[in-house]
Structure 1
Amino acid sequence: MELNRTTCYIASLRSSSVSRGYRRIIKGFTAYADVCFREFGNHVKFWTTINEANVFTIGGYNDGTSPPGRCSNCSSGNSSTETYIVGHNLLLAHASVSRLYQQKYKDKQGGSVGFSLYAFEFIPQTSSSKDDEIAIQRAKDFFYSWILGPLTFGDYPDEMKRAVGSRLPIFSKEESEQVKGSSDFIGIMHYFPALVENIKLKPSLSRNTDFYSDMGVSLTYLGNFSGFGYDVFPWAMESVLEYIKQTYGNPPVYILENGTPMKPDLELQQKDTRRIEYLQAYIGAVLKAVRNGSDTRGYFV
Structure 2
Amino acid sequence: MHSLGVNSYRFSVAWTRILPRGRFGDVNLDGVAFYNAIIDALIQKGIQPFVTIFHYDIPYELEERYGGWLSPEIQKDFGYFAEVCFKLFGDRVKLWVTLNQPNILAKFAYMDGWFPPARCSKPFGNCAFGNSSIEPYIAGHNMILSHATAVSIYRNKYQEKQGGYIGISVGARWYEPLRNTTIDLLAVERAISFNVPWFLDPIILGAYPPEMRKILGPNLPEFTLKQRKKLRVTKLDFIGLNHYSTWYVKDCIFSSCEMDPMDGDARAVSLVERDGVLIGKETGAPFFNDVPRGMEEVVMYYKQ
Q: Specify if TM > 0.5.
A: yes
Secondary structure (helix, strand or coil) at the match of 2:286 reads: coil
> Structure 1 counterpart of 2:95, which letter?
F
Q: Letter of the 1:166 partner, please give it.
A: P
The residue number in structure 2 matching 1:109 is 162
1:5 partner SS? strand
- Aligned AA for 2:286? G
State how far apart, in whole Å, the 1-side matches of 2:283 and 2:262 are: 25
In structure 1, C-alpha distance between the alignment counterparts of 2:284 and 2:270, rounded to whole Å: 15
Other structure's SS at 1:187 match: strand
TM-score, normalised via structure 2 length: 0.69
Identical counterparts, % of pairs: 34
Could you tell me how far 1:210 is from its partner in structure 2? 8.8
Alignment of 1:121-136 (within 5 A): 121-126=174-179, 128-136=180-188
Which runs of 5 or more residues in structure 2 are unaligned? 1-39, 273-278, 289-299
CA distance in 1, matches of 2:131, 2:178: 29
Pair 162,262 (structure 1): closer, same or farther in 2 beyond 3 Å: closer
> Which residue is 2:265 aligned to?
214
Partner of 2:12: none
Aligned twin of 1:154:
206
* Aligned partner letter, 2:73: R
Say if 2:172 and 2:243, in contact at 8 Å, map to a contact too. Answer: yes
- Deviation, structure 1 residue 213: 4.0
Specify the code of the residue in structure 2 equivalent to 1:17: G
In 2, the alpha carbon distance for the partners of 1:88 and 1:71 equals: 17
The answer for the alignment partner of 2:27 in structure 1 is none
Kindly report which structure 2 residues correspond to 1:62-77, keeping only aligned pairs within 5 A, or say none: 62-72=111-121, 73-77=126-130
Matched, 1:99 2:144: no
1:1-301 pair list within 5 angstroms = 1=40, 2=43, 3-13=48-58, 14=60, 15=63, 16-19=67-70, 22-72=71-121, 73-126=126-179, 128-180=180-232, 181-200=234-253, 212-221=263-272, 223-227=282-286
Deviations 1:183-240 (A, max 9, x none): 22111111111111100269xx9999997443110012454442269xxxxxxxxxxx
Amino acid aligned to 2:285: S
Task: Show CA shifts across 1:28-79 (max 9, x none).
Answer: 1101111100000011111111111111111111111122221112111111
User: One-letter code of the match for 1:146?
Assistant: W
Write the distance in 1 (CA, Å) between the matches of 2:127 and 2:259. 13
Whole-Å Cα distance in 1 between the matches of residues 88 and 72 of structure 2?
A: 26
Q: Distance in 1 between the 2:132 and 2:230 partners?
A: 27
TM-score between the two structures when normalised by the length of structure 1: 0.70
Give the root-mean-square deviation of aligned CA atoms: 2.9
In 2, Cα distance between equivalents of 1:71 and 1:81? 10
Please name the residue that 1:268 is paired with: none
- The 2-side partners of 1:261 and 1:101 are apart by 30
- 2:302 and 2:169 map into 1 onto residues whose CA distance is 25
Distance in 2 between residues matched to 1:187 and 1:142, nearest whole Å? 17
